[in-house]
Chains A and B, each alone.
Chain A
């Protein structure tokens, strides 16, 4: 009896039923885009061409992009089987591009699709684009054979080494959408010189067609797309503690100096309707081009004062943006909900219109430059 059971178990537990798939039957999807045309969804899949993906030179495109339409996103995705002989494998998706037509519409169908599907992970990025998602997906990069890797790294590095980005994963997108006092802030991708984008272009050393991170956007209460400037993005990232190595360039007498932040820590506190934003920044001076010499403690203090004022300006700009659009993209409301739940009734009142505007703001920024590279002073 035991032997029979063992024998049958071994056969059944191999997983080789009629539904198994060989690797070459799978269409590995690395990214996809969703667009809305009239009342239909258009889904574009970026599939890896497995046979070409190990080539180091570009003779043929390492990817294929196909698109289909349907009444729902799932319907549109499955309609791609009319064009492809592959079974789509969604576990390797690195990012999803949402077109502005989708972003300004109800986001619930998108969230439903992205969370209901059991094969999708929670770690892929959510991006937006004003260009057609299929064009972004079709663009190749001279930096990485896999365009999806390239774009993923652009988003990561521009946040980690420049500070002017935001890595919005599906998990963060969901929590921003569902939690009180938060809205999703989405990286906005653009494609330069759309017409010249093809594999021949990649053979040049100076291609003029590439994808780049243009800015960050959020959707206000009137369903309009609002773009954030570089300063506003820095303000957003400083307040939300997303900053690792940001680059800040400040004006000084007839010139500029640039610092790279090495550590940044921001804490918020609500005291008598005033939110105190306290930021400690440790930085390295990476360029100094001011008239005044950088040779004394007073000059160091002067530079740190300018940095502190610059960061305060970022905060002012960011908060004005919230007030102008009645949309709390800085997640101050979420901070209040979590730390001071009795301060505002989020269940029955609208935070963006009646909560945020009643707040005052106070900034306390402490900058500390403790590195300045090889040079002892500035070069005159």
Chain B
């Protein structure tokens, strides 16, 4: 791992990754379940988020010169570490499938409804695969560029939509009971922070001036959460619960009401690119993670890595193309992507807890 990142780049990557589960996954999930109590739910989620961040910091700060794969390898015997890393491979791959499927389904539904369903995933996969051909340094640079583009679009969106806000849409504040609100707040924050496990691919020692990294990440979390909450706030404030719950992609629907300086209309296709960009970035980063995992599991035989990666990509494409064709079926079966990511996240949290537990046990031995 010869690359070096600075704190700003690292926290930007962190911010991009955690915002990738919003479009078509978390936004409709939270709105549909908490109704007009979204703001209270977001507040609870924000507070709960610090607990998970603490867990993240614990594992991130432990063995700073190693990434998560190497940490597991260090903590456990060879066979067990291979097994755990294989489970992580499956988890990351599942996560990649869901994000990739949601982004493909979104583009297919909203932008290319007349194109054959295989076009979108193939079209989308190529830049993602291209992205994963490079190292983390390049990922950092792509992150900065994505961030600059996104922040400009984001500010324009929020600024223009603020005029359309109707604060009565947030009433009644308690449209569902507090137990329900707390339950969905917990699910929201767990799913929201799920992509954090991807960033554990970067060892802390690869960050310049890494004694301040935790502070940067904390700031990045606060800003990212406020930004994502503002998206939710604007959706509810402009559309209200009843209208936004009609749509599969309320964050896209709200942009349809936008008018820049009262004369630039129909900009939704451009402005939603923020979330599409973030999701594509996360897919690319997941592939990078998978590449490292495969490399570890196969003892770095380059040809073998390529064969496995290609197979996984082909499986990913096949699943996506197939599921897009049956999207209506999946909707009718009430398959909730949030819950699938929740399971992924819980599995990952368990692995991290196992590592932390093992670390505590192994400490006396080292002393």
Q: Which residues of A contact B (CB under 8 A)?
A: 1-2, 5-6, 8-9, 12-13, 17, 19, 91-92, 115, 118, 121-123, 169, 171, 174-175, 178-179, 335, 337-339, 341
- Chain A CB within 10 Å, residue with most, of B122, B172, B175: B172
Contacts A12-B123, A123-B256 hold; do A5 and B129 have CB atoms under 8 A apart? yes
Chain A residues contacting B110 (CB-CB under 8 Å) are 118
Question: Which chain A residue shows the least CB distance to B247?
Answer: A115
Q: Cβ of B130 and Cβ of A12 under 8 Å apart?
A: no
Q: Cβ of A8 and Cβ of B126 under 8 Å apart?
A: yes
- Which residues of chain B from 60 to 78 have any CB-CB distance to chain A below 8 Å in the complex? none
Question: Which chain A residue shows the least CB distance to B175?
Answer: A341
Any A CB within 8 A of the CB of B305:
no
Given contact pairs A178-B243, A338-B171, a sample of 10 additional A-B residue pairs in the complex whose CB atoms are under 8 Å apart: A17-B115, A19-B115, A115-B247, A123-B256, A123-B265, A171-B257, A174-B242, A178-B242, A339-B171, A341-B175
Q: Which residues of B contact A (CB under 8 A)?
A: 109-110, 112-115, 119, 122-123, 126-127, 129-130, 133, 168, 171-172, 174-175, 238-240, 242-243, 246-247, 253, 256-257, 259, 265-266, 268
Chain A residues contacting B115 (CB-CB under 8 Å) are 17, 19
Question: Which chain B residue shows the least CB distance to A172?
Answer: B243
What is the CA–CA distance of A6 and B133 in the complex, to the nearest angstrom? Answer: 11
Q: Which 6 A-B pairs have the closest CB atoms?
A: A338-B171, A178-B242, A341-B172, A9-B126, A122-B256, A5-B130
Q: Cβ of A17 and Cβ of B266 under 8 Å apart?
A: no
**Could you say which of A2, A115, A122 contacts B130, with CB atoms under 8 Å apart?**
A2
**Could you say which of B123, B127, B257 contacts A123, with CB atoms under 8 Å apart?**
B257
Contacts A5-B133, A174-B242, A174-B246 hold; do A121 and B265 have CB atoms under 8 A apart? yes
Q: Cβ of A6 and Cβ of B122 under 8 Å apart?
A: no
What is the CA–CA distance of A1 and B115 in the complex, to the nearest angstrom? Answer: 27
What is the CA–CA distance of A179 and B110 in the complex, to the nearest angstrom? Answer: 26
Chain A residues contacting B239 (CB-CB under 8 Å) are 122, 171, 175
> What is the distance, in angstroms, from A89's C-beta to the closest C-beta of chain B?
11
**Could you say which of B109, B133, B174, B175 contacts A2, with CB atoms under 8 Å apart?**
B133
- Chain B CB within 10 Å, residue with most, of A1, A178, A338, A339: A338
> What is the distance, in angstroms, from A157's C-beta to the closest C-beta of chain B?
14
Q: Cβ of B240 and Cβ of A175 under 8 Å apart?
A: yes
Q: Cβ of B114 and Cβ of A9 under 8 Å apart?
A: no
> What is the distance, in angstroms, from B181's C-beta to the closest C-beta of chain A?
15
> What is the distance, in angstroms, from A335's C-beta to the closest C-beta of chain B?
8
> What is the distance, in angstroms, from A352's C-beta to the closest C-beta of chain B?
18
Question: Which chain A residue shows the least CB distance to B306?
Answer: A1
Contacts A19-B114, A171-B239, A175-B242 hold; do A5 and B253 have CB atoms under 8 A apart? no
> What is the distance, in angstroms, from B22's C-beta to the closest C-beta of chain A?
19
Q: Cβ of A122 and Cβ of B126 under 8 Å apart?
A: no
Chain A residues contacting B113 (CB-CB under 8 Å) are 118
Q: Cβ of B240 and Cβ of A179 under 8 Å apart?
A: yes
> What is the distance, in angstroms, from A177's C-beta to the closest C-beta of chain B?
9
Q: Cβ of B129 and Cβ of A121 under 8 Å apart?
A: no
> What is the distance, in angstroms, from B256's C-beta to the closest C-beta of chain A?
4
> What is the distance, in angstroms, from A198's C-beta to the closest C-beta of chain B?
31
Chain B residues contacting A341 (CB-CB under 8 Å) are 172, 174-175
Contacts A19-B114, A115-B246 hold; do A337 and B130 have CB atoms under 8 A apart? no
What is the CA–CA distance of A338 and B130 in the complex, to the nearest angstrom? Answer: 51
Chain B residues contacting A13 (CB-CB under 8 Å) are 123, 126-127
> What is the distance, in angstroms, from B240's C-beta to the closest C-beta of chain A?
5
Q: Cβ of B243 and Cβ of A174 under 8 Å apart?
A: yes
> What is the distance, in angstroms, from B248's C-beta to the closest C-beta of chain A?
10
Chain A residues contacting B242 (CB-CB under 8 Å) are 174-175, 178-179
> What is the distance, in angstroms, from B78's C-beta to the closest C-beta of chain A?
32
The contact sample of 30 A-B pairs, CB cut-off 8 A, is A2-B130, A6-B130, A8-B126, A9-B126, A9-B130, A12-B123, A13-B123, A13-B126, A17-B119, A19-B115, A91-B266, A118-B113, A122-B239, A122-B253, A122-B257, A123-B257, A123-B259, A123-B265, A169-B257, A171-B243, A174-B242, A174-B246, A175-B240, A175-B242, A175-B243, A178-B242, A178-B246, A179-B242, A335-B168, A341-B175
